[in-house]
Amino acid sequence: MKVAYKIWIDQDGKAFGDGPYELLRGVERTGSLHRAAEEMGMAYSKAWKLLRTVEQRLGFPLLDRKVGGLSGGGSRITRQAKEFLARYGRFREEVKDSVENIYRRHFTPFQRTRKRAMNG
């Protein structure tokens, strides 16, 4: 037995969760939405649409687009996106610790009883 959950930020529907978080971290790391999408096994068109929806719901731009050029272009996340990602990363980490802690506190005694009952 273990605890599981999905968490997201809602703003007129699902606005931001682990999917966009990982995708934007990928853009930050690789400098390319193409590459970030590929790493997640996500079609580029899907990744692009996802970020457009997130931008609309959060109300600020996520990507500074640099199109063309010898390098073949690329993407960079905005300052606001960077701050938001840092915030979400800490939020997510704390929720994980807290949920697991609360789960353990309430269900460890129960699991002990259960194990004893199952072993006869």
Residue 12 CB, shortest distance to a second copy, in Å, is: 10
Give the burial string for 88-104 (b: 16+ CB within 10 Å, else e). Answer: beeeeeeeeeeeeeeee
- When the beta carbons of 70 and 118 are compared against a second copy, the nearer one is 118
Residue 97 CB, shortest distance to a second copy, in Å, is: 9
Residue 35 near residue 76, CB atoms below 8 Å: no
Residue 116 CB, shortest distance to a second copy, in Å, is: 12
- When the beta carbons of 66 and 94 are compared against a second copy, the nearer one is 94
| Cα 47 off chain centre by | 13
- When the beta carbons of 43 and 95 are compared against a second copy, the nearer one is 95
Strands 63-66 and 74-77, sheet pairing:
antiparallel
Q: Which residues bind a second copy (CB under 8 A)?
A: 1-11, 14-15, 58-60, 83-84, 87-88, 90-91, 94-95, 98-99, 102-103, 106-107, 110, 114, 117-118
Residue 80 CB, shortest distance to a second copy, in Å, is: 9
* Local structure of residue 71 (DSSP, 8 states): T
Phi-psi region of 64 (alpha: psi -120 to 50; beta: other; left: phi over 0): beta
